[in-house]
Amino acid sequence: VVVTRSDSVVLLPRFTGVRRAEVLNRARCLAQRLCEEAASRLAPTTVSVGVSAFCRDLSQLPHGFRTAQAAIDIGRRIRGPRSVHCWDEMGAYQLLHAMKGSDEARAFVARNLDPLLNLPWARAEPLVSTLETVLACRGNIEQAATRLHIHRNTVRYRLERIRRLLGRDPLEHTLETEPALALRKLV
């Protein structure tokens, strides 16, 4: 089942006689081909494709449709348009999506990141990008500097600025920092 709406496509594939991992792989390949074909035929329009959670039977299709739409919503926020977003690959974003728009989510982000996010965008963006990259590199400054294409001392300087702004070391409070960074993309 394929449903188009606006500039997104929801893919609810049905493959028989294969295991769940193979279903996801086939659905991803189909979605990627669909995305590429749409991009070549509909340019400059962008198309995002969402692949639903695994559905064992027709009674699960409404849930599948919601998860495919959620995958597109999350995927666009974290990866941008023109891509394939699989619900089963969203990891912790599945849980965070359930909190989207809630007062608790906004309060959590504010409590953990407001001093940083209240800066003008041009000053906040490199700091947030640095923080996300350092966390993705598990605190490895050298690796983060390489990924960011900046000097390691620039990474250290930015981390020190972040520490002063937040009043704590975000690398020592990753259980708060990482979800807050992810949630800010959803609220």
pLDDT tens digits, 55-98: 777 788 888 888 888 888 888 888 877 788 888 888 888 888 88
Other CB atoms within a 10 A radius of the CB of residue 107 amount to 12
Collect all residues with Cβ–Cβ distance below 8 Å to 83 and sequence separation of at least 6: 35, 48, 49, 75
0.85 exceeded by the pTM? no
CA–CA separation, 165 and 183 (whole Å): 19
Q: Name residue, tokens 């769940």.
A: 20
Residue 3: helix, strand or coil by DSSP? strand
